[in-house]
């Protein structure tokens, strides 16, 4: 091949002229079949690609066989505005999430406050008006600013602390009763006895003892007692001197009311009198029945009397000491058929040593008078 520029001979296979350095351009031989195949392939590809229309900075891309909407391309001058809009949308979504969370918190807090206020009732440290205002405030503020609703529900620390402090003072401030002055002394002590002892009670003030008079009054207090072991109060019997010790087992309780209106502690005592003498309480009662029959007051040992369906009964219930002598005390009771037995007020006595019979009077104050009865 000759160089087109300097007509020098270029060796076969060389692409540059060895004389002038000219680059040889090799044009391939034309192949009609290859050209036809290339055109056919290009047509097939063109039928399957998207058509692109370009006009004045606005491009639209779509598939000729597709039913989807057109997808507008973004203009350069609109890119900044779209970015700002996306940022605004993200901010809006974050605020909506905050609103939802704050709203749920406000509702939960309102429910808790309402339940606590209801459970505490009138003693609640959160007033009902505060709950109502919190609910109202939460419903209004949850739209504009949900966090403010939660703030409205929360109680002011100062108010809560002050109210709790007041409640603590009111619950802890318990008035203490004044100390009862004086000491109640009851004799004899509880226990088992073979000989009777008169039961007495007195109030001691600084080793100075006082006793109730015949009316049960004392310048420093009143002594109350019961005979069933229950705690005495101001409705109980008033102690007026001495009491005879019951035969068998008995229970007593004593308490006194001082001049300031304070009740003392209660003293509980139990006695068990089993007399060990020449006769028994049952024999003493039979002696009285025999004496009354002999006197004509009774028809029989069952206590019947003329002109009456009822009957008198005589049971020794206690023993007393008077001076050096000991007596069986035997009260008289009367019972009509179908009615409850009741005491008549008459009391007889039998000397435990001599077995003499007496009619007793003046026993209400513990000071007895014995009149011989035949």
% the chain with pLDDT above 90? 36
Task: Verify that 310 and 333 share a domain, yes or no.
Answer: yes
Q: Which two tokens stand for residue 264?
A: 């003392």
- Cα–Cα distance, 351 to 358 (Å, whole number): 8
Q: Which two tokens stand for residue 38?
A: 């290339």
- Give the closest residue to 108 by CA, choosing from 132, 138, 70, 67: 138
Task: Verify that 150 and 223 share a domain, yes or no.
Answer: no
Residue 59 lies in a domain: no
Average pLDDT over residues 112-140: 51
| CA angle centred on 148, ends 144 and 149, rounded to 5° | 90
Residue 71 lies in a domain: no
Task: Verify that 269 and 293 share a domain, yes or no.
Answer: no
Task: Verify that 95 and 147 share a domain, yes or no.
Answer: yes
pLDDT digits 0-9 by tens, 141-179: 444 444 444 434 444 444 444 444 444 433 333 334 455
Bridge partners, 351 (sequence order): 327
334 pLDDT higher than 90:
yes
Task: Verify that 269 and 285 share a domain, yes or no.
Answer: no
What range defines the domain where residue 150 resides? 91-166
Task: Verify that 357 and 294 share a domain, yes or no.
Answer: yes
Task: Verify that 162 and 188 share a domain, yes or no.
Answer: no
pLDDT at 247: 94
pLDDT at 104: 82
Q: Final residue of a domain: which of 166, 195, 223? A: 166
Residue 178 lies in a domain: no
Cα–Cα distance list, 172 to 87, 117, 126, 166, 168 (Å): 60, 21, 20, 10, 6
Task: Verify that 252 and 299 share a domain, yes or no.
Answer: no
Residue 57 lies in a domain: no
- Cα–Cα distance, 304 to 327 (Å, whole number): 26
Average pLDDT over residues 173-192: 72
pLDDT at 56: 47
188 pLDDT higher than 90:
yes
287 pLDDT higher than 70:
yes
Residue 72 lies in a domain: no
Look up the CATH number of the domain holding residue 237: 2.60.40
- Give the closest residue to 327 by CA, choosing from 352, 291, 354: 352
Task: Verify that 290 and 267 share a domain, yes or no.
Answer: no
Average pLDDT over residues 335-357: 93
Residue 60 lies in a domain: no
Mean per-residue pLDDT of the chain: 74
List the beta strands (DSSP E) in 239-298. 242-243, 245-246, 248-258, 267-273
Residue 16 lies in a domain: yes
Residue 300 lies in a domain: yes
Instruction: Select the highest-mean-pLDDT range: 100-104, 213-217, 293-297.
Output: 293-297
Of 215-219, 252-256, 292-296, 353-357, the least confident: 215-219
Task: Verify that 303 and 356 share a domain, yes or no.
Answer: yes
Task: Verify that 210 and 239 share a domain, yes or no.
Answer: yes
Of residues 297 and 95, the one with the higher pLDDT is 297
pTM of the entire structure? Answer: 0.47
Q: How confident is the model at residue 285 (pLDDT cuts 50, 70, 90)?
A: very high
Task: Verify that 229 and 307 share a domain, yes or no.
Answer: no
Q: Final residue of a domain: which of 136, 166, 196? A: 166
pLDDT digits 0-9 by tens, 11-56: 877 777 888 877 766 655 555 665 666 666 556 655 554 444 444 4
- Looking at the structure of the chain, the number of domains it has is 4
């Amino acid at each position: 091949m000759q160089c087109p520029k300097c007509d020098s001979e270029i060796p076969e296979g060389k692409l540059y002229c060895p004389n002038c350095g000219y680059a040889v351009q090799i044009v391939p031989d034309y192949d009609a079949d290859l050209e036809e195949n290339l055109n056919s392939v290009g047509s097939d590809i063109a039928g399957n690609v998207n058509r692109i229309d370009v006009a004045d900075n606005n491009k639209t891309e779509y598939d000729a066989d597709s039913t989807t909407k057109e997808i507008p391309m973004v203009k350069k001058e609109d890119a900044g505005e779209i970015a700002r809009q996306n940022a605004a949308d993200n901010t809006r979504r974050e605020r909506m999430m905050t609103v939802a969370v704050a709203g749920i918190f406000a509702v939960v807090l309102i429910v808790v406050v309402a339940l606590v206020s209801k459970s505490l009732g009138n003693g609640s440290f959160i007033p009902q008006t505060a709950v109502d205002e919190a609910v109202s405030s939460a419903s209004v503020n949850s739209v504009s600013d949900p966090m403010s609703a939660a703030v409205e529900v929360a109680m002011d620390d100062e108010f809560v602390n002050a109210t709790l402090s007041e409640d603590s003072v009111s619950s802890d401030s318990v008035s203490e009763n004044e100390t009862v002055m004086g000491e109640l002394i009851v004799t004899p002590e509880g226990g088992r006895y073979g000989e009777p002892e008169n039961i007495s009670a007195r109030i001691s003030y600084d080793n100075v003892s006082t006793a109730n008079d015949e009316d049960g009054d004392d310048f420093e207090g009143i002594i109350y007692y019961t005979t069933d072991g229950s705690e005495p109060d101001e409705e109980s019997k008033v102690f007026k001197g001495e009491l005879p010790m019951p035969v068998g087992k008995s229970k007593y309780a004593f308490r006194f009311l001082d001049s300031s209106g304070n009740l003392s502690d209660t003293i509980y005592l139990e006695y068990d009198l089993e007399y060990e003498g020449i006769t028994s309480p049952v024999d003493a009662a039979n002696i009285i029945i025999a004496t009354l029959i002999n006197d004509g007051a009774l028809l029989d040992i069952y206590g019947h009397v003329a002109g009456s369906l009822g009957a008198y009964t005589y049971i020794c219930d206690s023993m007393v000491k008077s001076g050096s002598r000991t007596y069986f005390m035997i009260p008289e009771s009367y019972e009509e058929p179908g009615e409850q037995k009741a005491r008549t007020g008459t009391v007889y006595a039998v000397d435990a040593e001599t077995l003499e019979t007496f009619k007793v009077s003046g026993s209400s104050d513990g000071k007895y008078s014995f009149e011989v009865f035949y």
